[in-house]
Amino acid sequence: MNSHLKKAIVSIATAFTLFTTGSAIVANQSAHAATSDEAASLIDEANDHMGVRYVYGATGPSSFDCSGFTKYVYKQALGVNLQRTAQAQYNSNKKVSVNSLKKGDLVFFGSSARSISHVGMYIGDGKMIDAQNRGVIKESIYSSWWNLVGAARVGD
């Protein structure tokens, strides 16, 4: 086999590998919490970290801040890479009304849509799992210490 043919075969094989690997990465990042299996995986992963301590800026698994927790849970459960901060997670995902929340949706808190300071993951029945000063806990999305600004569905 001549060297030009060998180079062509190697180039085609390399291009095919890059194409198929790239497609897998894109498909992986388009996952969302719309199915019950995906939501169950997210909630199971989040439950595995109940009680883990809160540390500002921490991304797990031995400690978390709020957005580090949601980022970690989505990555571990679904292979989805969320943005790092609560504000960036709010800005980069499709907004949904609080009335149409599904398990696995993200819920956001702060003084306004431009000033998001906290994020949690909705688990149904008006509750979320989040990382806050008491660690990773389950709590109501409606409380006197949080101002619910909005919600978003990842990947929709």
Q: Which helix (H) or strand (E) holds 131?
A: strand 127-132
Question: What is the Cα–Cα distance from 73 to 40, expressed in whole angstroms?
Answer: 12
Active site (catalytic) residues = 66, 118, 130
Question: Element (H or E) spanning 109, and its range?
Answer: strand 106-112
> For the chain, give me the number of helices (H) and strands (E)?
4, 8
User: What is the maximum span of the chain, computed from C-alpha positions, in angstroms?
Assistant: 75
List the structure tokens of 56: 């500002």
